[in-house]
Structure 1
Amino acid sequence: MVSWENIFCWIQMVLLYTFLYTFLHQRTYLFCLKHNVLEDLSNRCKPIYYKNVNPKFPEGGKMSQYLESLRIGDTIDFRGPSGLLVYQGNGAFAIKAEKKAEPVIKTSKKVGMIAGGTGITPMLQIITAIMKDPQDQTVCHLLFANQTEKDILLRPELEEIAANHPTRFKLWFTLDRAPEKWEYSQGFISEDMVRDHLPPPGDDTLILLCGPPPMIQFACNPNLDKVGHASSRRFTF
């Protein structure tokens, strides 16, 4: 039987993954859950990011501390999805330049994704939507950047998708500080990584980006330019 404690912990983890960027960067994401998510997550939960616990976040995590203060019976309001990009299926993306603009439909056969840290959130939702539809032949390439191996969010889920759909989902990691015998890349996003692990530029390729703004500005976009990916075929969450 799943306890209230585990239910609260599940809510904390899901909201932390999916809404951290909403609070910090005003981004709103749609999230989907497996039917057995409580069972999957109940054994993984532990308090995270209280004040003066993690030296990288001395003030603690805004979201986790807020949720920790809630009591059973309290209510939470949710809003969304209200993002600028909606995946419509079969390689079609409805993209708005701004919230009040009319969406422009962009189609693609290949989707290249660069995610940094919690920027994996919208990528996983799109990947999952594509892979669960056997009629959707869109191919996804994910280049996922993190500081250390322990920082890789949702790695088991991503590797499971890659194992189940080897021709439709290509997965590659890069770490700032890689352990010995690390089989993937090390360092910041580079021209070689973009060239080797994302689909080639073209009218049937769409590039999606989500991560810390400095990573997007100084690593992703310059190297996408070098490889020849047109800015009109890119979208940054």
Structure 2
Amino acid sequence: MGCTSSSKSQDKTKKGSPTPSRSSMDYKMAGKDNLLQPSFPALNSQQRLSDAKARNKVELKPGRSLMDWIRLGRSGEDLTGVGGKVLEVDAEELAKHNQINDAWIALRGKVYNITPYMEYHPGGEEELMRGAGIDGTQLFDEVHKWVNYESMLEKCFVGKLKSTPPAHRRVSLLRTLEPGGPANTNKSLLKANSTESKNGPMSPPAFKVPESPTLPKFDWFQTKTTVTLVVYTKWKSMKSDFVVIDKQGNNFLATLYIEDYIYYLHIELAEAISLHYEVKVNADTGKVDIILTKESEKQWPSVGKHLQKHNKTVKLKDQEITYRTCCVDSVSQVTHDSKLLCLSLPEGTRMCVPVGYHVHLQHKVSGMEVVRSYTAVTPTLTGEQDPRVKDGSVIYLMIKIYKNGALTPWIDSLSKGDPVEVSTFTGNFSEDRLSVCQNLVMFAAGTGFTPMVRLIHHCIEDTKSRVNLKLVFFNKREEDILWYDQLQSLAEKSDRFSCDYILSEADSGWSGKTGRITLDLMKASLPQQTEKSNLLICACGPTPFTNLVTKFAKELGYSESEYHAFQG
């Protein structure tokens, strides 16, 4: 099971822009003891994703790519701004460094000079400046948690952040916001996060500790040949894909993703089991059965010894990003610059990536840890599927190769057997939305096609589904269209699927549609307004494209429940 290691339409069109990176920091300050709290709506919420202004990616100047940043870090130039000295920095000193030409940020107790990184940040200077002069740990985790900032900012290390009592930190921050104070912060931020009486000054709001989730109930039973671990989640949206299993020896860890938290089963099993796991979920009750096969038919005296994480919960946003060493099972060419990778998970691991979710690949480039996100796809749209995907032992990724990219040249060099560090999946798309809509219209640009693959496959393969599917696929040139032959074949075979191809740089031989996304084009691609209550619009592509689709959807009167943006 995997490799053993440590841990219908008749017009045609293409992709073009690089897969967008994760967004830059986006947060607000609040009156908690640590003075920081994720902004509302939450960054991954539907409200946030429907905001066309959210998660903008700017066009960087020439010579400001990630590889250029890596080269600058190796040049020997002092990027600390303090001559390479290691300082001890308190909150008041940190707050002084909040100008675009003098910006520091604290992350997990370490202070970095982010001034030289301003022009290299894909989210732009404005977004990065939101974290200048403050402890941005919680903010960073909300948006950039999967990024190895220690490697990225290693050459910008200023020193350690001195621990400051909570009460003093609050007073210090308020001082920085006073007229003449060191922080160049919009006063509306303070007003928005404080209470102001008619007769007195503003004061920090009260902080309410959120309630912990109700702990699921755990039980187990056995037969002559199996042991079944039972978890009563009471979550009707629970899916078997939300159960990840890792086993090394008799050490068994099941990670269950339940709404916005994670629940663990962590057991040193009493006896040996095979590496075949079966996970069943009752859709009415959310009850999860994890069925293990015994290696022998002997009766177990107990399920085993409960280990550290057993019967514990953690908030999803607080989960640490973990990686598994997978290996390349196969590589195949999709287009002139795109490949399909099949990655085998480690022996003993079961991880089925949910529909619309992605994983991160991590690799060290010139001494710096580089991470990129890729949405899991099916190995084909029209042919026989790989049963190992359903078993959770392999993952397929469709990746565009950029010759001057930071990570994809390495990906381009991979061959069968090579190791690849792959994270646990992340995402926020609800598969349940596919069961309640009658029309699914997908707007994709380039590799923004990848999340649509699983949506299309899911709806076509579901015998109960009668969803009408339409893909509006934007690319540069005809040769860039991913799986064109398969899309055409599917459109011919299925009366529920159609595809419009639109090219922005079509040659003289192209007889199909040309141009870019516009309000009129989008309106013409959608069902009549009387049907819109049964519609789901999905969009993915470079951030400017996705933001335009979002903006047009709102202008056409569609609500958040009728729209989902997949952000890279």
Asked whether the two chains share a fold, i.e. TM above 0.5, the reply is yes
Paired-residue identity, %: 24
Asked whether 1:173 is paired with 2:519, we answer no
Gaps of 5+ in 2: 1-327, 343-355, 362-369, 387-400
1:229 corresponds to which of 549, 558, 561: 558
> In structure 2, what is the equivalent of residue 62 of structure 1?
407
Asked whether 1:189 is paired with 2:513, we answer no
Aligned ranges for residues 87-126 of structure 1 at < 5 Å?
A: 87-88=431-432, 91-92=434-435, 107-126=436-455
> In structure 1, what is the equivalent of residue 427 of structure 2?
83
> In structure 1, what is the equivalent of residue 198 of structure 2?
none
Residues of 1 paired with 2:438 and 2:484: CA distance?
25
CA contact (8 A) 2:439 2:536 kept: yes
> In structure 1, what is the equivalent of residue 332 of structure 2?
10
1:205 corresponds to which of 535, 539, 543: 535
Shift of 1:181: 5.7
Aligned ranges for residues 3-42 of structure 1 at < 5 Å?
A: 8-10=330-332, 13-15=339-341, 27-34=373-380, 35=384
Query: Structure 1 residues 126, 60: CA separation in 2 closer, same or farther (over 3 Å shift)?
Result: same
Shift of 1:62: 2.0
Query: Structure 1 residues 21, 194: CA separation in 2 closer, same or farther (over 3 Å shift)?
Result: farther
Query: Structure 1 residues 209, 36: CA separation in 2 closer, same or farther (over 3 Å shift)?
Result: closer
Query: Structure 1 residues 25, 66: CA separation in 2 closer, same or farther (over 3 Å shift)?
Result: closer
Residues of 1 paired with 2:358 and 2:504: CA distance?
22
Residues of 1 paired with 2:360 and 2:374: CA distance?
5
Query: Structure 1 residues 72, 232: CA separation in 2 closer, same or farther (over 3 Å shift)?
Result: closer
1:157 corresponds to which of 486, 492, 510: 486
Out of 206-215 and 173-182, give the one that drifted further. 173-182
> In structure 1, what is the equivalent of residue 465 of structure 2?
136
CA contact (8 A) 2:437 2:467 kept: yes
Query: Structure 1 residues 20, 137: CA separation in 2 closer, same or farther (over 3 Å shift)?
Result: closer
1:179 is paired with a residue whose SS is coil
CA contact (8 A) 2:357 2:375 kept: yes
- Deviations along 1:103-137, whole A, 9 cap, x unmatched? xxxx2111111000000001011101111223210
Query: Structure 1 residues 74, 149: CA separation in 2 closer, same or farther (over 3 Å shift)?
Result: closer
Shift of 1:162: 0.9
CA contact (8 A) 2:357 2:376 kept: no
Query: Structure 1 residues 127, 73: CA separation in 2 closer, same or farther (over 3 Å shift)?
Result: closer
CA contact (8 A) 1:111 1:199 kept: no
Query: Structure 1 residues 110, 25: CA separation in 2 closer, same or farther (over 3 Å shift)?
Result: farther
CA contact (8 A) 2:359 2:425 kept: no
TM-score normalised per structure 2: 0.31
2:376 is paired with a residue whose SS is coil
Query: Structure 1 residues 82, 141: CA separation in 2 closer, same or farther (over 3 Å shift)?
Result: same
Residues of 1 paired with 2:486 and 2:424: CA distance?
24
TM-score normalised per structure 1: 0.68
> In structure 2, what is the equivalent of residue 55 of structure 1?
none
Shift of 1:81: 3.8
Shift of 1:194: 1.2
> In structure 1, what is the equivalent of residue 121 of structure 2?
none
Out of 207-216 and 146-155, give the one that drifted further. 146-155
Residues of 1 paired with 2:453 and 2:473: CA distance?
11
2:375 is paired with a residue whose SS is coil
Shift of 1:68: 4.6
Out of 75-84 and 189-198, give the one that drifted further. 75-84
Shift of 1:164: 0.8
Q: How many residues align?
A: 196
Residues of 2 paired with 1:138 and 1:60: CA distance?
38
Residues of 2 paired with 1:36 and 1:136: CA distance?
19
CA contact (8 A) 1:114 1:144 kept: yes
Residues of 1 paired with 2:371 and 2:565: CA distance?
12
> In structure 2, what is the equivalent of residue 100 of structure 1?
none
2:419 is paired with a residue whose SS is coil
Residue 13 of structure 1 aligns to which amino acid in structure 2? K
CA contact (8 A) 2:359 2:426 kept: no
Residues of 2 paired with 1:25 and 1:137: CA distance?
38
Asked whether 1:215 is paired with 2:545, we answer yes
Residue 407 of structure 2 aligns to which amino acid in structure 1? K
Out of 22-31 and 138-147, give the one that drifted further. 22-31
Structure with the largest fraction of strand = 2
Residue 66 of structure 1 aligns to which amino acid in structure 2? W
2:510 is paired with a residue whose SS is coil
Residues of 2 paired with 1:83 and 1:21: CA distance?
9
CA contact (8 A) 2:539 2:546 kept: yes
2:488 is paired with a residue whose SS is helix
Higher relative contact order (CA closer than 8 Å, sequence separation 6+): 2
Residues of 2 paired with 1:139 and 1:19: CA distance?
22
